[in-house]
Amino acid sequence: MKSFKINQSGVLAFIRKYYLFIALIVFALLWASLFAYQKYLQNQIRERTDISSINGINSLEKISIGGVEQWILIRGWDQSNPVLLFLHGGPGAPLFSYARRIGFYTGLEENFVMVYWEQRGTGKSFSFSIPEESMTIEQFISDTHELAKILKDRFNVAKIFLVGRSWGSLIGLLTVRHYSELFHAFVGIGQLVQPLLNDSLSYEYTLQLAQRYGDTAEIEELKSIGYPPYNSEKATRQRKWLTKYDELFMREKFNRHRPDYRAHLLSTPEYSLWDVLMMGIDPFYSSRHLWNEKYYQYNLFEQIPETQIPVYFLHGRYDYFTPGKLVEKYYQHLSAPKGKTMIWFEKSGHEPEFHEPGKFRKVMVKEVLKKVQM
């Protein structure tokens, strides 16, 4: 027993003397293990989604847009195909983690050169050096315009396709209003029309779902949020409850489970461990700067009553994030001499490209691409 106490005391003395060194070794081992595990996951994704055609492209690139370094992922089986720029939602929803679900698993990368762009402040394009005063909708429109011109010159094409989902659909149509000559057509997925009315309707839908699935405490907490306008904190709380109840609803109606895209960050081939760490430091950076009073002043009924290019709205019948009745009303209001189309996805919520991928590809190829090529 005496010997044990002596040994134990010696071990404790050693740890006290070298605790910092030991902690560094443990940290290094954990980091190395996580790094190795990430590479294993990423290699699996790479192998499953490899583009092996001679004229194909799979390129992760850092470019300067609006004076800020930002990242794009370009994927396609044939570089001579039409170019499609995809604007992600959020604001601030990292795109690369689900880019392959948009293009590879739907098959769209066989028909288009898909350009996935993480906007300033988002995902791999997040940086503490971004000027906070540049985080405005006007700057995002300017960035989209600049990137569209870069892609036009890069692939030597006269025009490109522009697709925006949710937040990206607002930026997309606002860009089209000023620079329609750059685009074949615009596709809005979960089209955002009038943020103040949109979020009011979304809040009412959330209350209805809460009364169906929630308990008294949850309903009271939701009521405490109230109607918009919201700041980032209130918007996040409302979306948290809507996401929870929407998942319950979609599971009940279609036996569908919504993937947690945050869980895919580690396996996304385009992200390093440092990227994932940086995203976790300030995940609401974009929404904190963009979900504000100015955002709620946008109203496409007044600002974009007409478009000069073909417009397509792809909308999930059970989308409570961007309620369909508001989108349908805007569709009826919109004047589009070159054509407009609204297509309902009857088994979808806010993500029709994931809920009905076969129909999504068919619409994009048979409706959008074919009509433009005629």
Tell me, what's the pLDDT at 35? Answer: 75
pLDDT, position 26: 73
Closest by CA position to 72, among listed 25, 131, 130, 120: 120
Q: What token pair was written down for 143?
A: 């960035």
**pLDDT value of position 16:** 63
| Average pLDDT of the residues in 194-209 | 96
Mean pLDDT, to the nearest integer, of 311-319?
97
What's residue 356's pLDDT? 95
Asked if the model's pLDDT at residue 19 lies above 80, the reply is no
Indicate the CATH number of 57-194+300-373 among 3.40.50.1820, 3.20.20.140, 3.20.20.70, 1.20.1730.10.
3.40.50.1820
Q: How many CA atoms lie within 13 A of 135 on its CB side?
A: 22
Q: How confident is the model over 73-121, as pLDDT tens digits?
A: 999 999 999 999 999 999 999 999 999 999 999 999 999 999 999 999 9
Mean pLDDT of 191-215: 95
pLDDT for the residue 340: 96
pLDDT at 8: 62
- The model carries a pTM of 0.91
SS3 assignment for the chain: CHHHHHHHHHHHHHHHHHHHHHHHHHHHHHHHHHHHHHHHHHHHHHHHCCCCCCCCEEEEEEEEECCEEEEEEEEECCCCCCEEEEECCCCCCCCHHHHHHHHCCCCHHHCCEEEEEECCCCHHHCCCCCCHHHCCHHHHHHHHHHHHHHHHHHCCCCCEEEEEECHHHHHHHHHHHHHHHHEEEEEEECCCCCHHHHHHHHHHHHHHHHHHHCCHHHHHHHHHHCCCCCCHHHHHHHHHHHHHHHHHHHHHHHCCCCCCHHHHCCCCCCCCHHHHHHHHHCCCHHHHHHCCCCHHHCCHHHHCCECCCCEEEEEECCCCCCCHHHHHHHHHHCECCCCEEEEEECCCCCCHHHHCHHHHHHHHHHHHHHHHHC
The yes-or-no verdict on residue 374 having pLDDT over 70 is no
Say whether pLDDT at 321 is over 60: yes
Q: What mean pLDDT do residues 363-371 have?
A: 89
Average pLDDT over residues 160-175: 98
pLDDT tens, position by position, 39-50: 888 899 899 999
Average pLDDT, stretch 126-148? 96
Mean pLDDT, range 195-218, rounded to an integer: 94
Average pLDDT over residues 280-286: 90
Checking if the pLDDT of 274 tops 80, the result is yes
The Cα–Cα gap between 200 and 135 comes to 24
What is the average pLDDT value for the chain, to the nearest integer? 91
Question: What is the predicted pLDDT for the residue at 103?
Answer: 95
Q: Where are the domains of the chain?
A: 57-194+300-373, 197-254
Q: Which two tokens stand for residue 245?
A: 């109840």
- Say whether pLDDT at 173 is over 60: yes
Kindly tell me if the per-residue pLDDT of 194 is higher than 80. yes
Taking the mean position of all CA atoms in its chain, how far away is CA 221?
27
Looking at per-residue pLDDT, the higher value among 170 and 18 belongs to 170
- Report the pLDDT value the prediction gives residue 3, as an integer from 0 to 100: 47
